[in-house]
Amino acid sequence: MIIWNFFGNNKAPLEGYENLLGKRILLYEGMSFYPTFIKELQKRQIPYESTYIRPKRDTIEPLSEHEDHAAKVNIYLFPADEKVDGKLIYHYIAKGLLDGSVNDSLGVIFRLFSNSYYSQNLRPYFPLSQVKTQLAWGSSPKTPKLNQKIDAFIADYKASGAFSKQLERYTGMDLDEYEALLMIIE
């Protein structure tokens, strides 16, 4: 079961959406987490403001003048049209420059358990939404035939046990062990 989790540094507990007010949340505009996050904020009527950023040496730089607001969720976005190293999100949050982000639980857990610096400074907090998947593949809703083929492939891949073997190869955990770990985090 792969869950999109909020994660953050150990000093800024994020127990739920109400705890995000005044916090700085880092996301990639081009990732599916971003529109889902916006929908979840809107559903809860939580105000937010987005600011585009870019990496600058060992910190971040807003692309326009920006001031954080205590009564809003302050969303910091890497623009969709810019290529940014995916590991930076962990680095900036572990350093305390930003308070949290979203990633799939596999990505968060892999980073935490494969890097002692991150495991000492970051932790997963709560799921982005209640929608949970075991395996996902991004595609356009405008391609229904392709989507049906992808769905069939994923179903066969999981049913054959190959997904569990691949997961174990990359993380050291099979699917059952991974699901048990997620239950502890939840």
Domain boundaries, the chain: 4-127, 144-185
DSSP strand pairing (73-78 vs 48-56): parallel
**Residue range 15-32: average pLDDT?**
90
| DSSP tag of 91 | H
3-state SS class at 88: helix
C-beta neighbour count of 7 within 10 angstroms: 25
Best CA proximity match to 55, nearest among 11, 92, 21: 92
The per-residue pLDDT for 165 is: 82
Q: Which tokens go with 67?
A: 């001031």
Considering 29-43, 62-76, 143-157, the range whose residues carry the highest mean pLDDT is 62-76
Q: What is the DSSP letter of 81?
A: T
Alpha carbons within 13 A on the beta-carbon side of 111: 22
Percent over 70 (pLDDT), the chain: 81
Percentage above 90 pLDDT, the chain = 25
- What's the pLDDT at 50? 95
pLDDT tens for residues 32-59? 788 888 999 999 999 999 999 999 888 8
Rounded average pLDDT over 102-117: 72
Of all helices (H) and strands (E), which one includes residue 158? helix 144-159
What's the CA gap between 149 and 40, in Å, rounded? 29
What element of type H or E holds 152? helix 144-159
pTM of the model: 0.69
Whole-number pLDDT of residue 182: 66
Q: Domain spanning 4-127 has what CATH number?
A: 3.40.190.10
- Cβ-based neighbours of 39, under 8 Å, separated by 6 or more: none
Q: Which helix (H) or strand (E) holds 95?
A: none
**pLDDT tens per residue across span 74-105:** 999 999 888 887 778 888 888 888 999 888 76
Higher local confidence (pLDDT), 114 or 157 = 157
